[in-house]
Amino acid sequence: MDGTLLPGFAKALTPRTGRALKSAQEAGIIVALATGRRTDFAAPLLQGLNLRADLPLIASNGAVLRTLGGEILDRCLLPAQVARGLCEVFRPFGALVFTFDRPGSRELVLEDLEVAHKAIAMWVEANRDAIEVVKPLEDALRDGEDLIQGMGAGSLSQMNLAEEALKASPWSGSCECVRTVYPGRDMSILDLLPKGVSKGRALERLAARLGVDREETMAIGDNWNDVGMLEWAGQGVLMGNAAAELHAMAEERGWQQTLPNDQDGVAVVLEDAIAKRAADRI
């Protein structure tokens, strides 16, 4: 969603991008959305676009797979014991948030709202109704109530230190740690996922479920948490607003590159794919 479908700090897709998603579905292309956002935070952005209810939504960086209509297709859980261990590792560095898959209730728990607001103010304001403050955070992480993911957030230097601390901890082999970086805002997010979970692996499982070959799959993304998806798909497409290091990777690995999110880069790619599909049928 952010940095790919959504332009800048917008809270809605542009009309052109919305039309492109709908047109792709009408052309017989299976459209799936993959995001680091939780389901309840992502799905409302797609309302009003008249997309099919069976559209697959890969949420929480691959931990949850639901349809836009709400049907659960797949889900992976992070053990509460692991989450408690991560609290000790991450407490000295920025904010730490844990996400539960319990729509309609307090899905997000954190220990210090002030620290979180300093690190990710826009996120806090957008999610405030779903946040519960629990101190110490470990008290919210009870055995038998496993969760979806954790999220460390702070400055680039804070999250670099946090990532090194995780690697040196006993918990490094118990979860996946995926970076999302916004250098212009001096902000970095470390998503702490169940072992074996990523957008790329979720896309692979979804394609198998739908009977879609890898070579028939295109993935579009803009950040480091998209790399696994871009590598697995038969055609990876990198957004023009991606970091310079990712553009170098795109050149090296043969990924297509499109316009930035503020210039409807996704729509450009989809319109081209739809036109090619129509031409192939003539």
Distance CA 120, CA 142 (A): 26
Percentage of residues of the chain with pLDDT beyond 70: 99
Query: What does the pLDDT look like over 59-79, one tens digit per residue?
Result: 999 999 999 999 999 999 999
Query: What does the pLDDT look like over 17-52, one tens digit per residue?
Result: 999 999 999 999 999 999 998 888 889 999 999 999
Only one residue has tokens 């680039």, namely 156
Distance CA 239, CA 221 (A): 6
Residues 22 and 51 sit within 8 Å (Cβ to Cβ) = yes
Q: 87 pLDDT exceeds 90?
A: yes
CA neighbor of 148 nearest in space, from 48, 75, 40, 198: 75
The confidence score (pLDDT) of residue 9 equals: 76
Region 190-197: mean pLDDT is 94
Region 185-202: mean pLDDT is 94
The confidence score (pLDDT) of residue 278 equals: 85
Average pLDDT, the chain: 93
Distance CA 237, CA 239 (A): 7
Region 194-218: mean pLDDT is 96
Domains of the chain: 15-75+198-216+262-281 (3.40.50.1000), 80-194 (3.30.1240.10)
The confidence score (pLDDT) of residue 7 equals: 93
Task: Tell me the three state secondary structure of residue 263.
Answer: helix
Distance CA 215, CA 213 (A): 5
Percentage of residues of the chain with pLDDT beyond 90: 81
Residues 219 and 236 sit within 8 Å (Cβ to Cβ) = yes
CB atoms within 10 A of CB 271: 16
Only one residue has tokens 């798909």, namely 233
Region 191-206: mean pLDDT is 95
**pTM of this structure:** 0.87
Q: 104 pLDDT exceeds 80?
A: no
Q: Report the half-sphere exposure of 193 (CA within 13 A, side-chain side).
A: 27
Query: What does the pLDDT look like over 223-256, one tens digit per residue?
Result: 999 999 999 999 999 999 999 999 999 999 999 9
pLDDT class for 279, splitting at 50, 70, 90? Answer: confident
